[in-house]
Each structure stands twice: as structure tokens, then as C-alpha cells.
Structure 1
Amino acid sequence: MENGTMLRIEVNAKNSADKDHLLSDAVAKLIPAALKQREGILVTRTSHAEFTIEVDPQVPCGFTREKTSAAMSQ
């Protein structure tokens, strides 16, 4: 956290029905911090059920970008 502002959330989706809800909720929680910092949000899939959602300076403000970690590609 930076000055009490959440900048990163880890999500573990136990099933696909929960995944969309959990990811949407995490992104919604980070939007205020992203707008304050004039940055976007990056959603990274780190395993089949795990995701990291974070405010990222490489993503333009107002955008959400998705990626899969290199470990998932192997």
C-alpha cells in the first residue's frame, strides 16, 4: 500500500463461476488508486486459478490490460 492506498490484490478463484466476480471486484477496488496515480490496471494470471491485479505505470490510465505470466506459458 502507498499512503494507505491499495495498489495490488491477489485472487485465488476456486472455480470459473467465481473467477469473473472476483476479478471484477478486485479491478473495481483498484480503480480509485489507478485514477489517482494516472495509471492503468494490470491483471496477470500466475496459475490456473491465481491472479495478481495491480496498478501499473506501464498501462495507460483508464485501461485494464491482461497477461499470462511466463511460468504459465511453459
Structure 2
Amino acid sequence: MPNSSLFNAFFTILKKAGLPRVPIHSLRHTHTVILLEAGVDLKYVQERLGHKSIQITATFLRKLNRTQCLNMKCS
């Protein structure tokens, strides 16, 4: 399937579902957040995402924790 067809199908699904238009790459981020919030081992997440180093995955986890903290207004 050509990229343009994939993107068009993705945006059509979003529109039909009444969801905002977001980049398709956000699905990767959503998948990562779901795994991390479910308590999946960081090494597994690293391998699943194809990161060469666990530090890259850990950076995402730190960003996630910071965002969650901001959303919950924790100190």
C-alpha cells in the first residue's frame, strides 16, 4: 500500500470516528504509553520499538512521567 493511501485511510478513519486529525506517528507514541502504563518491562518496550539503546526508551519514559506529573499538577 503506498504511503499516501495509508495516510488517507488513517485520516478517513479519524474523521468518521469524530476524532481530531493527528499525525500517524502518534499511534507509535500511544502504543508506547499503553505498554509503559501497563507496567511492561522497559527492555521489552525497547525491543518492540526497535531502539538500539535502552537509554532512548528511558528518555521517553522520563518525558511521559513529566507530562503525567504536569497533568496531575503534582509537585
Scaled by the length of structure 2, what TM-score is found?
0.30
Task: Decide which structure has greater helix share.
Answer: 2
Task: Decide which structure has greater strand share.
Answer: 1
Larger CA Rg, structure 1 vs 2: 2
